[in-house]
Amino acid sequence: MKRTILRSTFVSSLFFVAVALGQSGPAASGGPSAQGAEPVSYASVTQLNGMLSQLEATSKNTQADLVAMRIEHWKTSNASKKETLTKVDSIQRNLQNTLPNVIAQLRGAPEDLSSTFKLYRNLEALCDVVGSVAEDTGAFGTKDELQVISNDLNGFDGTRKQLAQRMETLSAAKEAEIVRLRTDLKTAQAAVPVAPPKKIVVDDNEPPKKPAVKKKPAAKPGTSTTAKPAAGQAQTPPAQPPPATKPQ
């Protein structure tokens, strides 16, 4: 009886996976991308740069407007003034440290969804705190202070809405790209012929091989092969030669 063992080959499958990974690599900022992915379009980079420039201008104006506010002169309790000043300090730290870092990350990867969402989430937090300061200003501040802080809030909120629309567009584009890659992968798999599997034949009726017989080592020249007497056995003295006869 003979058994047939089939061994499949995975060369073609590995090739297709490598192609798919290569086409889905991250794109560089406005230039050729790594791993064969399509570069970021000029229109996309231009849109983002305009949005970020507007945001940076709003940030600069807001910092100046917050410094110009005279919260200590408001006609309210000291506890209320302290609470508003704490909010203002929080906004200033964000605008001077957090926001510039997030903007720099997004400029380095214009269509990265993670960096885009990070900026969107930061803008949501800014809008909440700036909106709270605007409410306090409307209750206790001057009309001029309320006007400038309201303009700053509208600037942040406008950029936030634009960023939300951009995330929706990018998500749809990424999803379409994934569908296209899957279609291309199936087409490539169907076009490449599959190599026939290799066969290994094992004969179960083959007689077993006889074990090799070890040869005894040959005796070395000059060595005696006389067996030694066993322990406790008397040894026979060697025969004495006959005495010599004297001549008469």
For domain 42-172, give the CATH number.
1.20.120.230
In angstroms, rounded to a whole number, what is the distance separating the alpha carbons of residues 180 and 192? 19
Q: What pLDDT was estimated at residue 61?
A: 97
Calculate the dihedral angle through the C-alpha atoms of 167, 170, 175, 179, rounding to the nearest 10 degrees. Answer: 180
- Which whole-number Å values give the CA distances from 163 to 32, 47, 92, 110, in the listed order? 24, 10, 22, 12
What is the C-alpha to C-alpha distance for residues 148 and 80, in angstroms, rounded to an integer?
A: 21
Average pLDDT over residues 100-128: 96
Domain positions in the chain are: 42-172
Q: What percent of the chain has pLDDT over 90?
A: 51
Structure confidence at residue 180 (pLDDT): 79
Q: How far apart are CA 71 and CA 136, in angstroms?
A: 10
**42-57 average pLDDT score:** 95
pLDDT digit string, tens, across residues 191-244: 777 777 777 766 666 666 666 666 666 666 655 555 555 555 555 565 566 665
Could you give the 3-state DSSP secondary structure of residue 69?
coil
**pLDDT for 223:** 55
pLDDT tens column, 63-99: 999 999 999 999 999 999 999 999 999 999 999 999 9
Query: Is 145 a residue whose pLDDT tops 50?
Result: yes
Q: What is the pLDDT of residue 231?
A: 53
- Answer whether 28's CB lies under 8 Å from 39's CB: yes
pLDDT average, residue stretch 162-168? 94
Q: What is the pTM of this model?
A: 0.61
The pLDDT of residue 18:
37
Q: Which residue has the higher pLDDT, 221 or 188?
A: 188
